Copies of this chain bind each other. A is one copy, B any other.
Amino acid sequence: MKIADRLHQAGIILPEPPLPVANYIPSAIAGNLLFISGQLCLDNGTLHQRHIGKVGGSVSTDLGIEAAKFCAINLLAQARAALGDLERIQRCVRLGGFINAQAGFTALPPIMNGASDLMVAILGEAGKHTRTTVGVAELPMGAAVEIEAIFEVR
């Protein structure tokens, strides 16, 4: 199945990729690796109030999962902007997940699954990735989740 079909099936329309909020670029290709800058949990460019704050605190588990999913959608939007066509993705190699965690909240992997599940749903086998998930003290704009990625491309 083609990626475009999987996006359609999942009801996802990739947004215009968010512009960097400072002096950097959203993606860079070195050899066969595509690096994507850390993406916040923006919904089509907007950081909703419900995705601001600490997961396990003011942000519920379900909303944390939703936030991680938005990060993944933005990563794919950036990849498409960089590559022209998502079919050029050979595989998602690595996701680096940073959860804005309430003190004592250690159930971080289920939150990060919001991104991992989306990546596999859209890219299929090519979406299976390594990942690192940690709980951080603060994130830009108070976002609940930030995720960066490395893709292998052709």
Which A residues are within 8 Å of any B CB, using their own CB? 21-28, 30-33, 35-38, 90-91, 93-96, 98-99, 101, 103-110, 112-113, 116-117, 120, 128-142, 146, 148, 150, 152
In the complex, the chain B residue whose C-beta lies closest to that of A91 is B28
Residues of B contacting A150 in the complex (Cβ-Cβ under 8 angstroms): 30, 35
Contact A130 B25 (CB under 8 A): yes
In the complex with contacts A26-B130, A101-B137, A130-B25, A32-B35 CB distance below 8 A: no
Query: Could you tell me the distance between the alpha carbons of A37 and B129 in the complex, rounded to whole angstroms?
Result: 8
Contact A152 B31 (CB under 8 A): yes
Query: Could you tell me the distance between the alpha carbons of A27 and B129 in the complex, rounded to whole angstroms?
Result: 8
